[in-house]
Amino acid sequence: MLSFLKNLEDSERPLLGPNYWILKKMGLLLPKNKISKIFYILVHEIVTLFVVSQYMELYVIRSDLDLVLTNLKISMLSVVCVVKVNTFVFWQSDWKQVLEYVTKADMFERQNQDVPKSNIINSYTKYCRRLTHFYWGLVFTTFLTTTNTPFMRYLSSSNFRNNFANGTEMFPHIFSSWMPFNKNHSPGCWITILWHVLLCAYGAAIMAAYDTCVVVIMVFFGGKLYLLRERCSNMFKNSDENASEATVKQLHGIHIQLIKYSRLFNSLLSPVMFFYMVMCSLMLCASAYQLTSATNAAQKLLMAEYLVFGVAQLFLFCWHSNDVLIKNENVTLGPYESNWWSASLRQKKNVLILSGQLRISNKFSAGPFADLTLATFITIIKGAYSYYTLLRK
């Protein structure tokens, strides 16, 4: 495993190496080859049609609350996955711009580092790797949980086995979706199981690729702001006035580029996050309801893991977005941590202009109504709990 993870490192992309690899493997970054590009697009749209079939089945089983909640819990995550895929492919050129900016800006910092900057760069790089590997592990665990839930239900419940044997219970499937053949009897049931496992693996890999890419980019923006503050605090170390002026101009350029691409990144992420937050509230509610109404320990354990995944996924986005917001506010301290008091009048004017520039910040949002912050995370958890209590009554 360690050897595999080490092979994902890329000297040309020291920060985004593993993330860029999985984006290409899953077809979120489409290849240049025309046939391969068409193949990936077809796969994405076939999965989209499958998600539509899940909602078709939802109408058929609408009279059974337990089946409806099971379907909703998974189909809402499926539709979020499909939205992530299609928006990434549709806005492909903009995503490539953001990824290229992150790579170039990161390489610039690595080539112009001293000891303090080196510590910052190494810190956020190690953090990104740990976060990526942790999230991949969490997604893989959720994949195993989702695919094994019907099997565990069959093993852990004698009532279910008896009802299944006498024909009052249907064959337990991973997803509740429409199929063009009888999915409750052999060989249709086994074909359906194989199809569902493949789709679940695809969805898990897409989540792992998209989510870790987004979070790593957020971490980079936070690290870049921290480095910018460090650069500002050292802008008058050179006593040469012309050199100091050139440094101030460079700092202006760095911040303008940072704001430009953080806003582009937010424009790509914001619609997806808005849709995700709406779906997440309902998904958490359904998961919590099934967790409390489960009749045996095995089912409770599996449902608890699924609930933990939903909460962890939402928390990662809100926490790292909130961290970028805090560092946006702190970067304005950089010029005042420098030796501005010993500078010439002209240099002091440049410092004032730079300070005004650094006050321009950008928040990551979830649509036009909410910002991605810890306060929003708490609000969503409260909303999900409110839906849960309503459903219990």
Determine the Cα–Cα distance for residues 249 and 282; give it in Å rounded to an integer: 49
DSSP 234: T
Determine the Cα–Cα distance for residues 25 and 10; give it in Å rounded to an integer: 15
- Neighbour count for residue 240 (Cβ, 10 Å): 9
User: Which residue from 347, 18, 351, 1 is spatially nearest to 9, judged by alpha carbons?
Assistant: 18
DSSP 23: H
Tokens 């980079």 sit on residue: 220
CA-CA-CA-CA torsion sign (147, 148, 151, 154): negative
What is the chain's pLDDT, residue by residue, as a tens digit (393 residues)? 778 888 888 888 999 999 999 999 999 999 989 999 999 999 999 999 988 888 777 777 777 666 677 677 777 788 888 999 999 999 999 999 999 999 999 999 998 777 888 899 999 999 999 999 999 998 998 888 888 877 776 676 677 667 667 766 677 777 777 788 787 777 888 888 888 889 989 999 999 999 999 999 999 999 999 999 998 888 877 666 666 778 888 899 999 999 999 999 999 999 999 888 888 777 777 777 767 766 666 667 767 777 788 888 889 999 999 999 999 989 988 888 888 887 778 888 888 888 888 888 888 998 888 888 898 888 888 877 777 677 666
Burial pattern 55-93, b for ≥16 Cβ within 10 A else e, equals: bebbeeeeeeeebbbbbbbbbbbbbbbbbbbbbbbebee
Are the C-beta atoms of 344 and 239 separated by less than 8 Å? Answer: no
Determine the Cα–Cα distance for residues 306 and 311; give it in Å rounded to an integer: 9
Determine the Cα–Cα distance for residues 319 and 214; give it in Å rounded to an integer: 12
- Which pLDDT does position 160 carry in this prediction? 65
Are the C-beta atoms of 25 and 16 separated by less than 8 Å? Answer: no
- Which pLDDT does position 294 carry in this prediction? 63
- Which pLDDT does position 262 carry in this prediction? 94
Tokens 């050292």 sit on residue: 234
- Which pLDDT does position 276 carry in this prediction? 86
- Which pLDDT does position 46 carry in this prediction? 92
> Which two three-digit tokens encode residue 28?
């979120």
Cis ω for the linkage preceding 187 (within 30 of 0): yes
> Which two three-digit tokens encode residue 66?
């337990």
Determine the Cα–Cα distance for residues 271 and 80; give it in Å rounded to an integer: 11
Which amino acid is residue 72, in one-letter code? L
> Which two three-digit tokens encode residue 22?
């999985």
Determine the Cα–Cα distance for residues 73 and 285; give it in Å rounded to an integer: 9
Are the C-beta atoms of 143 and 204 separated by less than 8 Å? Answer: yes
Helices (H), ranges, the chain:
2-7, 17-25, 34-60, 65-90, 92-111, 115-156, 158-166, 188-233, 241-293, 297-330, 345-358, 374-392
Determine the Cα–Cα distance for residues 254 and 234; give it in Å rounded to an integer: 15
**Residue 344: Cβ-neighbour burial (10 angstroms; 0-12, 13-18, 19+):** exposed
- Which pLDDT does position 35 carry in this prediction? 93
- Which pLDDT does position 39 carry in this prediction? 94
User: Which residue from 282, 308, 312 is spatially nearest to 385, judged by alpha carbons?
Assistant: 282
Distances in Å between the Cα of 41 and the Cα atoms of 31, 90, 99, 160, 224 are 11, 10, 21, 40, 34
> Which two three-digit tokens encode residue 385?
């709990």
> Which two three-digit tokens encode residue 372?
């991605």
- Predicted TM-score (pTM) of this structure: 0.89
